[in-house]
Amino acid sequence: MLKGKTALVTGSTSGIGLGIAKALAAQGANIVLNGFGNIEGPKAEISALGASVAYHGADMSKPAEIEAMVGFAADTFGQVDILVNNAGIQHVARIEDFPPERWDAIIAINLSSAFHATRLVLPAMKTAQQGKGWGRIINIASVHGLVASAEKSAYVAAKHGIVGLTKVTALENATTGITCNAICPGWVLTPLVQKQVDAKAAALGLSNEEAKKVLLGEKEPSMHFTTPQELGALAVFFCSPAADNVRGVAWNMDGGWAAQ
């Protein structure tokens, strides 16, 4: 379905970003990976799906590096057709104890980076398909873009912000072939969440499995984690012709978390 299209997925060396990159690669899209840590493993996983893959190591807190990454994607594959704003970090502390530099980093990486990448890919998306325009911008928000939890001030502010940015991006392009939507996962067992499981296990003297159950029991009625594969399938749907008129939604996949 996505043969000939190019997807840039930020923060795609692990977790949800890698899951979405693999789902788009399986549909034939060229993939530009981004993120830190192990690069060769994720590249090999994408190549094994028969897709072309490139990597750019932009630090998403730095606008100049985001600009270089979008330029690199265009130089490598022609242009960015699908942008998945996924890179994100977390810090858990009460507001009075929240380190200001952690606040700044979370707002930069989880929110401002999506603004920068979006403003940089839109001009080429508008000229696609003989000037009619085509593009898909998918923002990985969170159930924390819809509801709050204590001790996550920067994360909740950034994720509510990205839901707002999603709606504005959708509206400004509503008469074109460019759509923008957000995905709002509940708990997904990635390195970002394993750190919170570890903290709970240490604080309550629990095993890893017991701590996972406590974490799920606090928020997620289904009592199981959403998977990167499920989120990848939703991203593929947003890229499909069936989703041409799905614009500005914040779609939660959260085991019933926000329904409570």
List the beta strands (DSSP E) in 164-215. Answer: 178-185
Q: In what order do the strands lie in the sheet with 135-140?
A: 53-56, 30-34, 6-9, 82-85, 135-140, 178-185, 250-253
C-alpha dist (Å) from residue 22 to 7, 15, 88, 143, 254: 11, 11, 18, 23, 21
Query: Which CB sits closer to ligand NAD, 39 or 74?
Result: 39
Contact positions vs ligand NAD (CB under 6 A) = 11-17, 34-37, 59-61, 86-89, 109-110, 140, 142, 185, 187-188, 190-193
Task: Please state the closest distance from residue 238 (CB atom) to ligand NAD, in A.
Answer: 15
User: Which is nearest to 84 in space by CA: 134, 26, 32, 43?
Assistant: 32
Query: Which CB sits closer to ligand NAD, 15 or 161?
Result: 15
Helical pair 15-26 and 40-47, crossing angle rounded to 10 deg: 20
72, 103, 134, 155: which one is catalytic? 155
Query: Which CB sits closer to ligand NAD, 129 or 222?
Result: 222
* Residues 177, 244 contacting (CB under 8 angstroms): yes
Given phi > 0 = left and psi -120 to 50 = alpha, else beta, which region is 212? alpha
Task: Please state the closest distance from residue 67 (CB atom) to ligand NAD, in A.
Answer: 14
Query: Which CB sits closer to ligand NAD, 78 or 233?
Result: 233
Which backbone phi and psi does 39 adopt, to 5 degrees?
-100, -40
Query: Which CB sits closer to ligand NAD, 60 or 170?
Result: 60
Q: Is 155 a catalytic residue?
A: yes
Task: Please state the closest distance from residue 139 (CB atom) to ligand NAD, in A.
Answer: 9
* Residues 119, 111 contacting (CB under 8 angstroms): no
Just list the catalytic residues: 155
